[in-house]
Amino acid sequence: MQYCQDKDINRLVAEMIRTGWRFERGRHGKLRHPDGTGFITIPKTPSDHRCLLNIHRDIRRLTRRFGSPISD
């Protein structure tokens, strides 16, 4: 499934879905935290060369704020 035109972002989104996150389609995609408390916007056509880094940053922030979906 293609979430974005960037292959690296597609890989990241697919990995997050495997760990319990959900993806919602729309004008931009939304990658929802497993407990539904927050989301990250995923652009279909990223124009910023830092987009992947920004998504990683947002995932870290949500995970820190709402907890990790993977229990240790």
Q: pTM here?
A: 0.84
**Rounded distance between C-alpha atoms, residue 67 and residue 1, angstroms:** 27
**Rounded distance between C-alpha atoms, residue 55 and residue 71, angstroms:** 22
pLDDT at 70 exceeding the cut of 70 = no
Helix, strand, coil shares, percent, the chain, to 5? 40, 15, 45
**Rounded distance between C-alpha atoms, residue 2 and residue 23, angstroms:** 11
Cβ atoms 35, 69 nearer than 8 A? yes
Q: How confident is the model at residue 72 (pLDDT cuts 50, 70, 90)?
A: very low
pLDDT score of 17 = 96
Residue-wise pLDDT for 2-42, tens only, equals 999 999 999 999 999 999 999 999 989 999 999 888 999 99
